[in-house]
Amino acid sequence: MVRECNIFIGNNGPDRIILVDPTESDSFRLIQLPTRRVHFVVDPVRAKFAYVFTEDGKLNQIDVLKGEISQSVRVTDPYSMDGHWNDPRPRIAVADNKIYVTDPLKSKIIVLDATSFKKTSEISVEGQPFNIVAVGGSGKVHGEHHDHEAHHHDDHAH
């Protein structure tokens, strides 16, 4: 039997997140973070996990089914939540088997393997990358012997 899992994640104060499972009698679970939260996302591929970046420069993997931090790794120097709300701070994006964390003060993006939760590379960028979005897509692939004259091209481009 397959059970649908709809768990919602939200912030609950500066150093906690809340997991909400509307199907459970005890539907709210608080997760205490080691320090204040900077940013968090849900893993769209591995829905069991969410990731929270905290002020201490660590990326924390949250097991949303168990309601606990399953592992943490330092990816940047510390970032304070003090100051203006719009100050450049790290942000997280997840695509395929990679986790991307921006490091605005060092002008780079840190890449981690989502399975091993280890840093695999860094991407140097200009400026202060403090926002990031993962975008995916797919398209129609034509075989070697695709006949361009045999059909209309209204539904796709070449």
**Residue 140 in this model has a pLDDT that exceeds 60:** yes
CATH architecture of 8-124: Beta Barrel (2.40)
Per-residue pLDDT tens digits for 81-139: 999 888 999 999 999 899 999 999 999 999 999 999 999 999 999 999 988 988 876 67
Spell out the SS3 assignment of the chain: CCCCCCCEEEECCCCEEEEECCCCCCCEEEEECCCCEEEEEECCCCCCEEEEEECCCEEEEEECCCCEEEEEEECCCCCCCCCCCCCCCCCEEEECCEEEEEEHHHCEEEEEECCCCEEEEEEECCCCCCCCCCCCCCCCCCCCCCCCCCCCCCCCCC
What confidence score (pLDDT) does residue 152 get? 63
What confidence score (pLDDT) does residue 117 get? 96
Q: How many whole angstroms separate alpha carbon 19 and alpha carbon 27?
A: 8
> What number is the average pLDDT over the span 140-158?
63
pTM metric for this prediction: 0.81
Per-residue pLDDT tens digits for 13-69: 999 999 998 887 888 899 999 999 999 999 988 989 999 999 999 999 999 989 999
Please identify which residue in the block is written with the tokens 């996990």: 49
**Residue 2 in this model has a pLDDT that exceeds 60:** no
Domain ranges of the chain: 8-124
